[in-house]
Amino acid sequence: MFCADCNGLLAFATFAATPGNLPDRDRIAARRASVDLRDRSGVWRYRDLLPEIPFEQIVTLGEGDVPLYDGPRGAEYARVDRLAYLHLGMNPTASFKDAGMTVAVSRAVATGARIAICASTGNTSASLAAYAARAGMHALVLVPSTGISEAKVAQTLDYGATVVAIDGDFDAALATVRAQDPNRVAIVNSVNPYRIEGQKTVAFVLLEQRRWRVPDWVIVPGGNLGNTSALGKGFREALALGWIDRLPRLVTVQASGAAPFSRAFRTNTDLVPVHAETSASAIKIGAPASWRKAKAEILAHRGTVTDVDDAAIADARAIVGRDGVGCEPASAATLAGLRELVANGTIGASDDIVLVLTGHVLKDGAYAARYHESGAAFANRIVRGTDPADVIERLTAPA
Ligand code: F0G
């Protein structure tokens, strides 16, 4: 997982198509009609492009095939003609982590591992817990003892994992995980290249739904930066296979209180870890493990990196909800980032834009409740002591 010389992250080489193994995208898409979850999965359908894992050892919950929704209210908010949300919160455990986790846990099964471990701000832990449960494997997760979503911890406990709350943040938890002996436990954070291989299929699922029409921009939230790395690899492989004719421009948006990558990118310097602070708890990460890979992808995709403050994330999240979609705070950094990049002229109003929503609104219901109680710009208060007939009267009154 780590280079013996430099301790950097290892990665699978970019998939090289040869005349003998040229995967056909239409044949792959046709697997959706199967009743076998391993065919229907938006990850395993693309198994021709994944590291080889015995078919019978695949651990799947039918992940990956998530909807692409149009977002007219989000578009209006960001002052663009149109945008689409790729909603990875519609995965089995309600976050984008499942696409990578199904591959990492399947690989762990294939190697005979009995225990899998991860550090998490909540979503990786829930995903690992679910897949480990399916595999009959023990899941051990390290989470910060404060500041993460209660719903995510409850979900993780529900799937039967051992949850160790540590006296420290995500970065401290990940350092502890990285210090474990990989021969004794399978480490399934995104430092594990199998996770990245699974997550790269998100690029294929996105393109497939657009009939391989490449968007101008794909915007993702960034924390530990595994997702930026994975999506970038997916798009590059699609290009190498001739499935698409150009790369989209890739943008990573961080929370301003946890934006070491944004700063490093802007100044073109090595990443300097920070102590992270943001109410978007999923991306409260100060020392992202995959920053070098993510930087290479952003450059290859002629993209950029920015950051947005917590208030901007909070309002943007409420707007995503008004599209009838909904997401957790970290995901909404994409819409807040888009709004800023349109305002400063980086992104044009008529550009073709996809925002990657990484987690479901119910992942952090307490955050949503607080927002609506706060009286903020797009808050929607509970009405008390009102006769519904009066509401109907008001809504149907001639203007
Ligand atoms: N969005 C959500 C909802 C997340 O949970 C995460 C990361 C990210 C974005 C950032 O993705 O780390 O690949 O850049 N969550 C991890 C976890 C850290 O433990 O659940 P990234």
CA–CA distance from 159 to each of 116, 134, 198, 259 (Å)? Answer: 14, 9, 21, 32
**Distance (Å) from CA 386 to ligand 1 centroid:** 41
pLDDT value, residue 21: 76
Q: How many whole angstroms from 361 Cα to the centroid of ligand 1?
A: 14
Percent of the chain with pLDDT over 70: 99
Residue 292 has a pLDDT of: 97
Tell me which of 90, 169, 254, 283 to substitute to probe ligand 1's pocket, judged by most ligand atoms within 8 Å of the beta carbon. 283
pLDDT at residue number 9: 83
Q: Which residue has the tokens 């663009």?
A: 80
Spatial distance between the Cα atoms of 241 and 375, rounded to a whole number of angstroms: 50
Q: Does residue 180 carry a pLDDT above 90?
A: yes
**Please, which pLDDT band fits residue 4 given cuts at 50, 70 and 90?**
low
Q: Where are the alpha helices (DSSP H) in the chain?
A: 25-30, 37-40, 72-78, 97-110, 123-135, 150-158, 170-178, 193-209, 226-240, 260-267, 291-300, 310-322, 329-343, 365-373, 388-396
Ligand 1: residue of 9, 121, 297 to mutate (most ligand atoms within 8 A of CB) is: 121
What number does the ligand 1 atom closest to the CA of 123 have? 20
Per-chain mean pLDDT for the chain = 96
Q: What phi and psi values does residue 194 have, to the nearest 5 degrees?
A: -65, -35
Question: What is the average pLDDT across 36-59?
Answer: 97
pLDDT at 399 exceeding the cut of 90: no
Distance of alpha carbon 58 from alpha carbon 200, whole angstroms: 17
Question: What is the Cα–Cα distance from 286 to 289, expressed in whole angstroms?
Answer: 9
pLDDT in tens, 20-32: 778 899 999 999 9
**Of 251 and 18, more confident:** 251
The continuous run of DSSP H or E covering 219 comes out as strand 217-221
* Whether this model's pTM surpasses 0.85: yes
Q: Count H helices, E strands: the chain?
A: 15, 10
Radius of gyration of the chain (CA): 21
Q: In 3-state terms, what secondary structure has residue 164?
A: strand
What SS3 class is residue 140? strand
Higher pLDDT, 266 or 12: 266
**Integer Cα distance of 280 and 378 in angstroms:** 17
Q: pLDDT tens digit string along 311-358?
A: 999 999 999 999 999 999 999 999 999 999 999 999 999 999 999 999
Among protein residues, the one whose CA lies closest to atom 19 of ligand 1: 120
Residue list, ligand 1 pocket, CB within 6 Å: 95, 97, 120-124, 190, 221-228, 282-283, 328, 330-331, 358-359
For ligand 1, pick from 191, 227, 297, 360 the residue to mutate: most ligand atoms within 8 Å of CB.
Answer: 227
pLDDT in tens, 123-146: 999 999 999 999 999 999 999 999
Q: 281 — alpha (psi -120 to 50), left (phi > 0) or beta?
A: alpha
Measure 243 CA to ligand 1 centroid, in angstroms.
28
Largest CA distance in the chain: 74
**Which run of H or of E encompasses 220?**
strand 217-221
Give the residue, by CA position, lying nearest to ligand 1 atom 15.
Answer: 282
pLDDT at 112 over 90: yes
Ligand 1, closest atom to CA 119?
A: 19
pLDDT at position 347 is 98
Question: Best substitution site from 285, 335, 358 to test ligand 1's pocket, by max atoms within 8 Å of Cβ?
Answer: 358
